[in-house]
Structure 1
Amino acid sequence: MTGRVCIVGSGPAGLYAADALARKGEGLRIDVLDRLPTPFGLVRAGVAPDHQGTKAIVRQFDRTLSRPGVRFLGNVGVGRDVSLEDLRRAYDAVILATGAPEDRRLGIPGEDRPGVYGSGAFVGWYNGHPDHADLTPRLPGPAVAVIGHGNVALDIARVLAKTPAEMAAGDLGALAAAAIAAAPLTDIHLIGRRGPVEASFTPAELGELGTLERAAPVVDPADLPDAVGPLADESARPVKEKTLSILKDFAARPDAASAPVRIHLWFHRAPGAVLPGPDGGAGTLRLARTHMEDGRAVVTDETHDLAVGTVVSAIGYRATALDGAPLDEGRGLVANTDGAAAPGLFVVGWAKRGPSGVIPTNRSDSMAVAARVLAWLADHGPGHPGPDALDALLADRGVRPVSLEDWRRIDAAEVARGAAIGRPREKFTTIPEMLAVVEGMPAARRERASES
């Protein structure tokens, strides 16, 4: 089969789609674009820095980008350097794999105070994402609140709670590591609107909280049911029972309350307001008790306050609006029907279904959409100029894409920086630094050249 396909986004969803297309569509030319010079999306910038085993999947994705007919073009932003309409004119099919990069808002008074952050920004900060590298979050201590009971919330709590020695084997950036180590934290509050059975974190992630060197999980036994009870989806029972067992083990630990750092798991609490401290920033988080009705958390009039200097909201994400790809505003994703957004325009991953699942969840999803793309190409045939048209357009606009070999130079430089301080890598956190490696010039000179 011949044809020319452009995939916008080089995270797991986009690269699983590229792999499926390359395997089944022999003869296809597939361009994978990313607005950053670096590929791999949330594997690089979202997976916790102490989960190096999870990050190892990039080796598989690197093989995908190395396949014949597949090309990586980094530092090419859709909406910045090219439009979606440009791509649709150039390619037989376009796949959006742009994820859901915007934090969902809490919708409560005080959430715009200094010291209140979305998890996308906070995680991006400690993972060295260029969009958030200069966040410098307020961590005055002694308490932090993390709102949400998913794996992202657990990641944030764990990264904040671990000692520098525990984090040494990961790729936490040097600046973030220093800021976290200097923060005088004694209490981390993980807050969920629903109960233990409804929490969405996985047992493996939850269990890690019980293995930390200086931190211990604190659970009120009164918050835990005796058993899981009826479930709408009985296939989830083994996971829910394991989660409840872990929480009961945490609740039974006699010395948890005296640990140097305590990770409190609060259930049936909803955030109501962030009240100011003396400097106007976050000082108190007001919580309301909830109870479950028909699977929903219903807020009551019973409230209590937590003194916290930092609040991180980990309640989910939304896709970003892109001209030519309307959003389903209610769901926060690109409007689509089973991955088809418009004739010749498709969508995969979180931009398609919302921010759910783990990295491998994207594989079956992307394979299904790739099959739809192949069917589209079979019915409509090739007829667009593809990569040649994009190359001419970028050259005319003075845009120099970062190639796969360019990325490998950046990668090697980061690994060398990390080796010098005993870590797997030390990331470059600005695009000029990355491009300086590609072009073989000092970062400061590269930045001056980019401004001229």
Structure 2
Amino acid sequence: MSGRTLLWTLGKSGWTKRLHEGFSGCGKAFLSSSSPKVCIVGSGPAGFYTAQHLIKARQDVAVDIYERLPVPFGLVRFGVAPDHPEVKNVINTFTQTAKHSRCSFYGNVNVGKDVSVVELQQAYHAIILSYGAEGNRSVGVPGEDLAGVYSAKDFVGWYNGLPSCQELSPDLSCETAVVLGQGNVALDVARILLCPVDVLKQTDITQPALEALAQSQIRRVLIVGRRGPMQVACTIKELREMVNLPDSRPEMVAADFEGVTEALKDLPRPRKRLTELMLKTAVETPGEKEQRRRASASRVWGFRFFRSPVEILAEPGRGRAAGIRLAVSRLEGSGEGARAVLTGDVEDVSCGLVISSIGYKSLPIDPTVPFDSRRAIVPNSNGRVRQATGLYCSGWLKTGPTGVIATTMNNSFDTARSLLEDMDSGTLDVSAAKPGSQSIGALLEKRGVKAVTFSKWEKIDSVEMRRGEACGKPREKLLSVEEMLKVAQT
């Protein structure tokens, strides 16, 4: 936990400088005690992009990033699909930020438990909450607690090595899985369930997940949504990956696409291209080569539109999912604003695995921080937390769980700009000296909390890369906090 800080002390012979072994970073540049000190809670994309903008915009700001886990990068590490390594390249940029002389990372610090927001406010001029959305939105139907029913957040966390999800051990012995939701995460889950294991072996998917998927009996995945093809929430890239997935073929309901061709001309370009690809996949007769490919495929996937869950059906006497009852709906209105209205009809689908991908949800961190429990966000104006001077938020905690990494980048930059404006205008008083990580480090030390600095994370990183290399993968992740801390503290 120690780092080295240059301190000036006044003695009989005048000012002298000495190296102080302390909490506040490894070889970081010394800043005067009066420099503005900013604390960011959460080290996912929102946290790092906010830090990046602050450091670039002002030459005197010092930023400390606190993270609950011993490892940084949030959903880039634990949310991005293992077969999307290119999306993880932002880690290189985040690493540059973390190694900047005015930025320090402290992992394994649980804000709200190990240290309170009030204590952070006493140590820093500004606090930016960027801890994302770690809760699950409930489907709210009977049977949702049965064995075999999981949230996409937990399922993704399981195959991506999130420590809290390693006990999940999903049963993949059924033939059909149903994914509720039609966004990018839903398609990630469907793709990983059907992806040939030889492809996954070359990714950073965890070894237990790889072994479970190698034994999987799942051959059919249905991706269910309450609205129609023109309201689907995924991107064309994700859909194209499903269309081209080896050893898989699409299986759609042609009736779901009635009237879609006529409506195409009025759609905005991205939506039009997405809908055209879906239409081509669902109803057009493929060429000879594609016909051969589909005929030899052993796995099936398909969208099911105009359906919403009513109940997860239990296997008699076993307390586990055996099917799902879906209410049939029709659309009222058109485009993005179209509403699904129930028709009164229902249909039952046999399945042994149900994965709910209807959205992540932020949770309150500390009783002193305002929280809108209905919208599951911290109420804010351009990132300024309402009625709380010096408190800000960025990322999904600010907006709700929407958009991709680029969206988060822009909203984080906006929050950083709000903070900088407040510093410049004097709305946020940065004239009084604040101790920053020095006082927080002393508190954590006293409480027995072992913070993981960025150089200690690099030890974990190095071990994971070596373990991956040994089995032909880019990385083999450490799966428990205990294991991570053991490596970090050596």
Classify the TM-score, shorter chain: over 0.9
User: Aligned letter for 1:373?
Assistant: L
Counterpart residue type for residue 238 of structure 1: R
Q: Report the more deviating stretch, 398-407 or 322-331.
A: 322-331
Aligned to 1:240: 271
Aligned ranges 1:201-212 → 2 under 5 Å? 201-212=234-245
Matched residue count: 437
User: What is the letter of the counterpart of residue 305 of structure 1?
Assistant: D
Change in CA separation of 1:94 and 1:276 when aligned onto 2, cut-off 3 Å: same
- For the 8 Å contact 2:45–2:405, the answer to whether it is kept is yes
The 3-state SS of whatever aligns with 1:248 is helix
Query: Do structure 1's residue 289 and structure 2's residue 333 form an aligned pair?
Result: no
Aligned pairs for 1:18-417 (under 5 A) are: 18-224=51-257, 225-227=259-261, 229=263, 237-251=268-282, 252=284, 253=286, 256=294, 259-278=297-316, 279-294=318-333, 295-323=338-366, 324-341=368-385, 342-378=388-424, 379=426, 380-383=429-432, 384-417=434-467
Q: Which amino acid aligns with 1:350?
A: W
Alignment-derived partner of residue 20 in structure 2: none
Check whether the contact 2:43–2:65 (CA below 8 A) recurs between aligned residues.
Answer: yes
Q: Would the alpha carbon gap of residues 347 and 113 (structure 1) be closer, same or farther in structure 2, given more than 3 Å must change?
A: same
Give the fraction of aligned pairs with identical amino acids, expressed as a percent: 39
Amino acid at match of 2:302: H
Distance 1:228 1:432 in 2: 58
- Contact 2:151–2:357 (8 Å) recurs in 1: yes
Cα deviation, residue 101, structure 1: 0.9
**Distance apart, 1:258 and its partner CA:** 6.7
> What is the deviation of 1:394?
1.1
| Higher mean C-alpha deviation, range 349-358 or range 240-249 | 240-249
Question: Structure 1 residues 353, 230: closer, same or farther in 2, change over 3 A?
Answer: farther
What is residue 427 of structure 1 aligned with on the other side?
A: 477
What SS does the aligned partner of 1:425 have?
coil
Segments of 5+ residues of structure 2 without an aligned counterpart are 1-33
Does the 8 Å contact 2:201/2:210 carry over to 1? Answer: no
Contact 2:221 2:301 in 1 (8 A): yes
Offset from partner CA, 1:110-134 (integer Å, 9 cap, x none): 1111111111111000100011111
What secondary structure is seen at the aligned counterpart in 1 of 2:281?
Answer: helix
Partner of 2:22: none
CA distance in 2, matches of 1:166, 1:216: 17
Do 1:219 and 1:247's aligned partners in 2 also have CA atoms closer than 8 Å?
Answer: no
- Whether contact under 8 Å (1:269, 1:287) holds in the other structure is yes
In structure 2, C-alpha distance between the alignment counterparts of 1:312 and 1:22, rounded to whole Å: 40
Distance 2:408 2:261 in 1: 32
Alpha-carbon separation, structure 1, partners of 2:158 and 2:74: 14
Q: What corresponds to 1:450 in structure 2?
A: none
Letter in 2 for 1:423: K
> Aligned-pair distance for 1:196?
0.7
Tell me by how many angstroms 1:221 deviates: 2.1
How far 1:230 moved relative to its partner?
8.3
> How far apart, in 2, do the equivalents of 1:213 and 1:293 lie?
37
Amino acid at match of 2:308: A
TM-score in terms of structure 1 length: 0.94
Displacement of 1:257: 7.5
Q: What is the root-mean-square deviation in Å for CA atoms of aligned residues?
A: 1.6
**Whole-Å Cα distance in 1 between the matches of residues 297 and 389 of structure 2?**
58
Compute the displacement of 1:413 (Å): 0.4
Question: TM-score scaled by structure 2?
Answer: 0.87
Q: Is the 8 A contact 2:307 2:327 kept in 1?
A: yes
- The amino acid across from 1:116 in the alignment is V
Distance 1:349 1:285 in 2: 34
State whether residues 221 and 248 of structure 1, in contact with CA within 8 Å, keep that contact through their aligned partners in structure 2. Answer: no
Rounded to whole Å, the distance in 2 between the matches of 1:344 and 1:230 is 48
Q: Distance in 1 between matches of 2:231 and 2:243?
A: 20
Q: Distance in 1 between matches of 2:444 and 2:373?
A: 32
Q: Distance in 1 between matches of 2:62 and 2:355?
A: 42
Give 1:371's aligned amino acid.
R
1:377 offset after TM fit, Å? 2.5
Question: Which structure: larger Rg?
Answer: 2
Q: Is the 8 A contact 2:382 2:418 kept in 1?
A: no
Runs of 4+ with >4 A deviation = 253-258
Residue 168 (structure 1) shift: 2.1
Shift in CA distance, 16/4, structure 1 to aligned 2, threshold 3 Å:
same
Equivalent position of 1:3 in the other structure: 36
Letter of the aligned partner of 1:387 in structure 2? S
Q: Deviations over 1:165-201 (max 9, x none)?
A: 1112211100001111111011111001111110110
Amino acid at match of 1:333: I
Classify the secondary structure of the residue corresponding to 1:17: helix
Change (3 A) 1:183 1:230: closer
CA contact (8 A) 1:228 1:240 kept: no
SS at match of 1:22: helix
User: How many angstroms does 1:228 deviate by?
Assistant: 6.8
CA contact (8 A) 1:228 1:244 kept: no
Query: Gaps spanning 5+ residues in structure 1: where?
Result: 441-452
Q: How far did 1:2 drift?
A: 2.9
What are the equivalent positions in structure 2 for 1:433-452 lying under 5 Å apart?
433-440=483-490
Deviation by residue 1:51-94 (Cα, 9 ceiling, x = unmatched): 00111110011011111110000000012211111111111000
